[in-house]
Amino acid sequence: MRETILQKATKMFLSLGFKSVTMDDIANELGISKKTIYQHFANKTDLVEAATDNLFETIASGIDNIREQDKNSIEEVFIIRSFIMQHLNNETASPFYQLQKFFPKIFSCLRIKQFEKMNGCMIENLKKGIENGIFRPDININFVSRIYFTGLTGIKDSEIFPQDVFEVEKLTKMYLEYHLRAIVTPKGLSILENFI
C-alpha cells in the first residue's frame, strides 16, 4: 500500500503542485482513508520527501541505463532529456516552484542530489564527446558541466521564461541546442543537426 500511495501522490504532486495537493485529495483519489496514508507517512512533509526521493531515484536509475547504451554524447543528451521530460510528465515549473517555496529543505536536498548526479553524468559525457571528436578539446569540462546544470534549472524560472511565451517541451530543446552548438566540432555539428 505504501508504494501505491507514493506513486499516486508523486503523480498528483507533479501535475497539480506540491502545495496544492492535500492528503484528502490523495485519499479520495485512491479510495482510502487519510488514516491509511498516515499509517505509512507521518505527515505531508514526510510524503513529499518520499515522493521527491522516489522520483529522483527513478530518474537517476533511468539515466544510468541510458548511459550504458553507449550512444554518442549528443544522442545520449537528447535521449536523457526525453526520458526526464517523460517522467516529469512534461511538468511545468509550477510544482517545483511550490516545492521550493513551501518545502525549502526538501527542495535544497533534492537540488544538491540533482547537481551531483547531473554534474557527474555531464563530465563523463563531455569527456567521451571530446574523445570521439564531437566536442571541442579546448572546452573547460568543469565549467561547461556546471553551466549546463545552471541553464537547465534556470529555464524553469517562470518569471524569466513565462509559460505563455515559452512552451516547456520546446524550451528545453532550444536550451539543449544552444548548449551543444557552443561546444561541438564540425563533426559534432553534423550529428546535432540530424537531431534538429
Tens of pLDDT along 154-193? 888 888 988 889 887 788 899 999 999 999 999 999 999 9
Give the phi and the psi of residue 184 in degrees, each rounded to 5: -80, 155
Q: What Rg do the C-alpha atoms of the chain give, in angstroms?
A: 19
Look up the CATH number of the domain holding residue 83. Answer: 1.10.357.10
Query: Would 95 be classed as within a structural domain?
Result: yes
User: Quick check: 115 pLDDT over 70?
Assistant: yes
- Res 17: pLDDT: 87
Name the band, by pLDDT with cuts 50, 70 and 90, for residue 56.
Answer: very high
By residue range, what is the domain housing residue 146? Answer: 52-195
Query: Would 44 be classed as within a structural domain?
Result: no
Give the phi and the psi of residue 135 in degrees, each rounded to 5: -115, 145
Mean pLDDT of the chain, nearest integer: 92
Number of domains in the chain: 1
Instruction: Give the separation between CA 159 and CA 179, rounded to whole angstroms.
Output: 21
Give the phi and the psi of residue 110 in degrees, each rounded to 5: -65, -45
Instruction: Give the separation between CA 26 and CA 15, rounded to whole angstroms.
Output: 13
| CB neighbour burial string for 12-25, b if at least 16 within 10 angstroms, e if fewer | bbbeebbbebebee
> What is the model's pTM?
0.87
Other residues' Cβ atoms within 10 Å of the Cβ of residue 156? 18
Instruction: Give the separation between CA 37 and CA 40, rounded to whole angstroms.
Output: 6
Give Cα 105 distance to the centre of its chain.
Answer: 18
Which residue has cell 552548438? Answer: 181
Query: Would 4 be classed as within a structural domain?
Result: no
Record the cell numbers describing residue 180, joined without a space: 551543444
Query: Would 170 be classed as within a structural domain?
Result: yes
User: Quick check: 94 pLDDT over 90?
Assistant: no
